[in-house]
Amino acid sequence: MRALEVSELAPDHGGCGLVDLPVPEPGPGEVRVRVHAAGVNFPDLLMTRGGYQLKPDLPFVPGLEFAGEVDALGAGVEGWTVGDAVVGGNRFGAMAEYCVVPARALRRKPAALSMEETAAYGVAYLTAYVALVRCGRVTAGDWVLVHGAAGGVGLATVDLAKALGARVIAAASSAAKREAIEGLYAPDAVIAAEPGFREAVKALTGGRGADVIFDPVGGDVFDESTRCIAFDGRLLVVGFASGRIPEVSVNMPLIKGFSVVGVRAGEYGRRFPERGAENLAAIDALAAEGRIRPHVHAVLDLADWRAGFAMLERREAVGKVILKP
């Protein structure tokens, strides 16, 4: 089978390449899936150079999420048949023609979504759901500020926040991205992600600030976000795309009465398996009902993986990039 393999941890994905590997056989409790579409996520890129907290043994095939169909069943697997359309996730392995995962890692593909859309929603919308619902406790009418709103997770957060009845302010770095976000999801406001955004947020919210701030950027964006968050607000730490991990003087959350909450959607599900299953069921139901609409920026052949990775690294993508093995 054709696969993207990481044989060495190196900068600029220098240890990655297309290879021909044996088709894996499913063991007891496992399912082999013919992958039709694999989503590209920042952790995939980080893992190719050893920059992510998960460091698989070399060599490995990257890829957190996929959509496809059941190809073979291991011993003891029940509830699945060959040909079933599925969506799934694993910590790596999706960027190949076939992958083997535990049967419990699969869910039914939402009929309303294409294979490419299905591969685009799992990681992004699960992160958005854990952030907004579990950590941010968003309710209808809340003001939600989404930084990095054009990225795969940021765009999903805009979409989900709208579905939850929140009032959404989307912040993005370029006019083209802001125009795309407005056309796709019509948030209540779209603002420039540049210093001074706090004044725009204060003006839009009548001076009170945002109830929930979704921050995958960190650095100066986090610093300024502490100055436009409402009393009893929740500042959600999702990542540090800016490259700087910020610090906060604890007198600020004390005086302003806000919380700083870390968001790790996968770890949340591992720590609380029952709630993790509820989270997945919730986003699957929203997708099946058409209440969320994942956006695919580009669909590329697996051979063009380097171009797909570059779209994320240069922050060109509005939504998700999909590879077709």
Per-residue pLDDT tens over the stretch 216-234: 999 999 999 999 999 999 9
Quick check: 116 pLDDT over 90?
Answer: yes
For position 52, what pLDDT does the model report? Answer: 86
* Whole-number average pLDDT of the chain: 96
Q: Which range has the worst mean pLDDT, 83-87, 96-100, 172-176, 211-215?
A: 172-176
Strand partners, 98: 34
Supply φ then ψ for residue 160, to 5 degrees.
-65, -40
* Contact criterion met (CB below 8 Å) for 282 and 132: no
Confidence class for position 21, pLDDT limits 50, 70, 90: very high
Tens of pLDDT, residues 83-109: 999 999 888 999 999 999 999 999 999
Q: What is the pLDDT of residues 310-323, one digit of tens each?
A: 999 998 999 999 99
299: nearest Cα among 122, 39, 10, 52:
39
Residue 249 pLDDT exceeds 90: yes
pLDDT at 53 over 90: no
**Where do the domains of the chain lie, and which CATH numbers do they carry?**
2-109+295-324 (3.90.180.10), 123-266 (3.40.50.720)
List the end-to-end C-alpha distance of the chain, in Å, as a whole number. 9
Read off the pTM: 0.92
Q: What is the mean pLDDT of residues 193-204?
A: 96
Band of residue 241 on the pLDDT scale cut at 50, 70, 90: confident
Q: How far is the C-alpha of 162 from the C-alpha of 159, rounded, in Å?
A: 5
Contact 92, 62 (CB under 8 A): yes
